[in-house]
Amino acid sequence: MVMLQLATAAVIGLAFLAQGRREAVAAAAGAALAALGTALLSARAFAGVSGAGLALGRLLAGMVLRWIVLVGGLVLILGQFKLPPLAAIAGLVAGYATNLLAFRFKG
Spatial separation of the C-alpha atoms in residues 76 and 95, rounded to whole Å: 18
How far apart are the C-alpha atoms of 80 and 8, rounded to whole Å?
24
> Read out DSSP for 61-77?
HHHHHHHHHHHHHHIII
The whole-number average pLDDT for the span 88-103 is 92
Distance of alpha carbon 5 from the chain centroid: 7
What's the confidence (pLDDT) of residue 107?
60
- CB 94 within 8 Å of CB 14: no
For the chain, the structural domain boundaries read 2-104
Pick from 76, 84, 91: nearest CA to 12: 91
pLDDT of residue 97: 94
Q: Give pLDDT, residue 31.
A: 97
pLDDT tens by residue, 48-94 = 767 888 889 999 999 999 999 999 999 999 999 999 999 999 999 99
CA 50 – CA 86 distance, rounded (Å): 42
Q: pTM for the whole thing?
A: 0.89
Could you read off the pLDDT of 15-60 as tens digits, one per residue?
999 999 999 999 999 999 999 999 999 999 888 767 888 889 999 9
**Whole-number average pLDDT of the chain:** 93
Dihedral sign for Cα atoms in the order 6, 10, 16, 21: positive
